[in-house]
Structure 1
């Protein structure tokens, strides 16, 4: 049974006429956040508002870079050259880091978003492109990645610190990849299903879509802010962890 865990959430995923009301309801229950950098969602004002919100709530701030895919919300793999990918990630992380520091905070970690995250978990060239960008920002940057993935391996080899991530609201396949959002049952929205999966993580296991019980390493748990009822789920997850004597911390 785990004694502590980081609870993270993807935030700042709004722009234009939208606002941070949803994020402000989630923020009190998490220990770290991953802020959209403008390539899948977010804009400079959204970034600034979300950073300020995180600082007020003493939540660790992370950059959430993606493929340049606003229309697809960063959930489509894009055929970028290694130089293009490196530049895209470097641009996004540098912008988030700069805004955070100008407001008196520090960049805690980086977590790739969506298709970039999932593809880098199994594709070495994509992982290398991400890591090459991050070491230019900070040589020992902390990155959130799936345990024993290609991304975590490449990051560790480059001297980055890796925190093994699991997902409270996503169903897993037998290879421990996330079930595609195009398929039925990919997203867990009912509180009972989320908490059942969470209980498994605390014991180091996950039950896959096809019914296998597999070992899994969890150092940080993600909740997506666009999952139905995310604010309520954040509160339920926080209370569940506290009830089971698990300390919620970004340390």
Structure 2
């Protein structure tokens, strides 16, 4: 049988320490590089695991806000944000180069990810910050977002991302983590969410409506307490829906 191959990505290197369990079940990773979490040591550990399990390597820069884990919007000057992202990526690339690892993509984290999805000025600032990597890497962006449109207009290579373990509002924004239904933590429910997006290009929103969505990669957060259980369940049942994780 010819299975549809999908990219499952996971945010890692954020202090949970579960990467060795998760990497065998994913195809892409987004490694924290010092802004919201992570250090030289955790970057190196994740890079080694990525190489071992043939997982595509991504950098996961954020607002420089370890106190709030990068999940709160920051008031920061354009210059300081560009400098911070540049320093995070420099730290990341130092470890990549030392190990001979190849950076495949960049995915912004948390509040920065959500902010550039809707704020044109901030999205342009972010694209400026990652401009040195434009020709060599892919940018993971949310579907139908401001950053997707701007990245396309500026000839960045992109992959559209959707979240398998998060609920959506009708405008395709993510339900706030401050709300009860933000996370989907049950493996069966995550699989149902994922299959609908993969096979029908639709997502069932928190209000129960089906909204069109397109994605090239699907995220499961590594810091979700049930991440291992979710990925294990998905791995065991994807083929029942004619799907398979890319290798």
**Is 1:48 aligned to residue 48 of structure 2?**
no
What secondary structure sits across from 2:37 in the alignment? coil
**Is 1:232 aligned to residue 222 of structure 2?**
no
Distance 1:80 1:193 in 2: 38
CA contact under 8 A between 2:9 and 2:219: conserved in structure 1? Answer: yes
Shift of 1:198: 1.0
- Given candidates 218, 221, 238, the residue that maps to 1:221 is 218
227-236 vs 36-45, which moves further? 227-236
TM-score, structure 2 as length reference: 0.94
Alignment of 1:71-110 (within 5 A): 71-110=67-106
- Given candidates 178, 181, 200, the residue that maps to 1:182 is 178
CA contact under 8 A between 1:140 and 1:160: conserved in structure 2? Answer: no
Q: Which runs of 5+ in 2 are unaligned?
A: none
Q: Which residue of 1 aligns with 2:6?
A: 5
Quick one: structure 1 residues 109 and 229, their matched pair in 2 at CA, closer, same or farther if it must change by over 3 Å? same
CA contact under 8 A between 2:188 and 2:233: conserved in structure 1? Answer: no
210-219 vs 28-37, which moves further? 210-219
Alignment of 1:139-158 (within 5 A): 139-158=135-154
CA contact under 8 A between 1:123 and 1:150: conserved in structure 2? Answer: yes
**Cα deviation per residue 1:14-72 (whole Å; 9 max; x = unaligned)?**
1xxx7x3x110000000000000111111111111111111111111100000011010
What secondary structure sits across from 2:8 in the alignment? strand
How many residue pairs match? The answer is 244
**Cα deviation per residue 1:115-145 (whole Å; 9 max; x = unaligned)?**
0000100001111111112121333530111
Distance 1:9 1:83 in 2: 29
Distance 1:238 1:225 in 2: 15
Q: Which runs of 5+ in 1 are unaligned?
A: none
RMSD: 1.5
Could you list the structure 1 runs, at least 4 aligned residues long, displaced by more than 3 angstroms after superposition: none
Distance 1:241 1:192 in 2: 11
